[in-house]
Amino acid sequence: MATYIIGDLHGCFDEFQALLKQADFNPQQDELWLTGDLVARGENSLECLRFVKNLGERAVTLLGNHDLHLLATLQGIKKVKERDKVEAIFQAEDREALQNWLRNRPLVAQHPRHGFLLAHAGISPEWDLATAIGCAREVEGVLQSEDYGTLLSQMYDNSPNRWSAHLQGIARWRYTINAFTRMRFCDKDKGLDFDCKLPVEQAPPELKPWFELDSPLFHQQDILFGHWASLIGYPTPRHIYALDTGCVWGNYLTMLRWEDKKVFTQEKM
Ligand SMILES: [Mn+2]
């Protein structure tokens, strides 16, 4: 039995299947953990959703920013962008089942035996483990409620960009969603920055990748994340694993086998 963790699929279904074949993935015995963003931009988002859903308890996948955006468009809150190539999901006969399955996915997951944490974009440098998991469970509870559309319609905002234990309601949930699903750079005060679109090597010196900020958690906790395709080749600290290698942008899909840390890759086909 092996534990595999794979970066953002973004509809790259053929590459996903090739990677599972390469690793001889056995859904009867092995586990697959995914960083989220199964959908959008690539050609086969519907197939990715169906396949991961059908793995049932053998797969753990998270909500990424594109997964949340898909939920917002399926609810009619946001307009579909043509470049997302998700039209087939709207026409699918299992659309409602996929939608309900997707909105019941978590924002963060911890492996019960290996202990690693999986997050789509990362873990806020302002959080300890209990706060991170507590904040995720609060938002997940709202997404699993009947009124989840209200949260989806109010999540599109960059503020607040600093954490405070006193945050409440939509401000608290928005910070949580932004940290888990959209974060890349932070400023020196650990504020989330969503303006900088530069590659990490060209970013202004006052901005650092979230995992380079000072947080006791980052020294002791294995953290795996996706979301940041342009990090390819950028060195991360010992416990931090970046798994999005931009397959949909013409690079490759990456999958890590946790037990021996073997890395499998599949070029864009
Ligand atoms: Mn993402």
The tens digit of pLDDT for each residue in 190-231 reads: 999 999 999 999 999 999 999 999 999 999 999 999 999 999
How far, in Å, from the CA of 10 to the mean position of ligand 1? 9
Between the CA of residue 231 and those of 125, 212, 252, what are the distances in Å? 18, 13, 13
Q: What is the mean pLDDT of the chain?
A: 97
How far away, in angstroms, is 42 Cα from ligand 1 center?
13
Q: Report the pLDDT averaged over residues 60-75.
A: 98
Contact 46, 90 (CB under 8 A): no
- State in Å: Cα 56 to ligand 1 middle: 23
Q: How far is the CA of 190 from the centre of ligand 1 (A)?
A: 20
Instruction: Check if the beta carbon of residue 49 is closer than 8 Å to that of residue 64.
Output: no
The Å distance, Cα 251 to ligand 1 centre, comes to 16
Mean pLDDT over 96-119 rounds to: 98
Per-residue confidence (pLDDT) for residue 96, from 0 to 100: 98
User: What mean pLDDT do residues 70-85 have?
Assistant: 95
Q: How far apart are CA 125 and CA 150, in angstroms?
A: 28
- pLDDT per residue over 116-175, tens digit each? 999 999 999 999 999 999 999 999 999 999 999 999 999 999 999 999 999 999 999 999
Alpha carbons 60 and 111: distance in angstroms, whole number: 9
Q: Quick count: other Cβ atoms within 10 Å of Cβ 30?
A: 18
Please list the residues that pair with 119 across neighbouring strands.
108, 225
2-24 per-position pLDDT tens digit: 999 999 999 999 999 999 999 99
CA distance 71 to 75: 6
Q: What was the pLDDT predicted at 67? A: 98
pTM to 2 decimals? 0.97
Report whether 63 contacts 34 (CB < 8 A): no
Q: What is the reported pLDDT for 243?
A: 98
**Centre of ligand 1 from the C-alpha of residue 216, in Å:** 25
Both tokens of 85, joined, read 């190539």
Centre of ligand 1 from the C-alpha of residue 220, in Å:
25
Region 31-41: what's the mean pLDDT? 98
From residue 257, how far is each of 21, 158, 221 by CA, in Å? 13, 35, 18
Phi, psi of 3 (to 5 degrees): -110, 120
What's the confidence (pLDDT) of residue 229?
A: 96
40: CA distance to ligand 1 center in Å?
A: 10
Strand, coil or helix: 253: strand
